[in-house]
Amino acid sequence: MKGLTKLRSNLKTGFSDFDEYRDCIQELIINEKLYVMEKYIHHKHITCLEHSFSVSYTSFILCRRLGLDFRSAARGGLLHDFFLYDWHTTKPEKGLHGFTHPSAALENAGKYFILNDVEKDIIVKHMWPLTVKLPRYTESFVVAFADKYCALFEIIIPRSAIARKDCLKTLMITNHN
């Protein structure tokens, strides 16, 4: 519990925000397969799992404040890069990673989790506008922009990403053990 309290205070949210976020993703964070993403570096020194937690939490906060489906945003954000390979060394059979990994992530997520239509759309369209089809739901746009926002901080401003990484690591450790 001490680790969760530290995470909540570092992310500058109230207990209700943090507890509600945790409730939204609980089914996902108890599944061991989610932690395979920890093996792969995504942006600079940030793993795919750390990036996905950042996108998920950012999307949750935005959608909650906008009165949108924050549960689907949190879950879809956490699974948006659930492609489960090192994209720096493994090349897709057809196309480039940026274009193909959303479909791979959706396929993998569908194997391990029950997804609603909003979550599916979030996962498969999070690379918009690179992927041509427009997101169908407002939550999908929020996650797509949160993904770019988090990636910007992870690549351009690594110190802030590392501080956030330490906070999110606490959440992962608390739930993984």
* Domain of residue 75, CATH code: 1.10.3210
Count structural domains, the chain: 1
Q: Which position has the higher pLDDT, 16 or 5?
A: 16
Instruction: DSSP letter for 46, please.
Output: E
Amino acid 164: pLDDT: 53
Amino acid 56: pLDDT: 95
Q: Which of 29, 43, 42, 149 is nearest to 79 (CA)?
A: 29
d(CA 22, CA 48): 19
How far is C-alpha 156 from the geometric centre of its chain's CA atoms? 19
Output the CA torsion 128→68→76→45 (10° steps).
Answer: 70
Q: Give the domain range for residue 79.
A: 2-176
Q: Which position has the higher pLDDT, 166 or 131?
A: 131
Please tell me the pTM assigned to this model: 0.77
Do residues 146 and 55 lie in contact, with contact meaning Cβ atoms separated by under 8 Å?
yes
**Worst-scoring range by mean pLDDT, 39-48, 75-84, 134-143?**
39-48
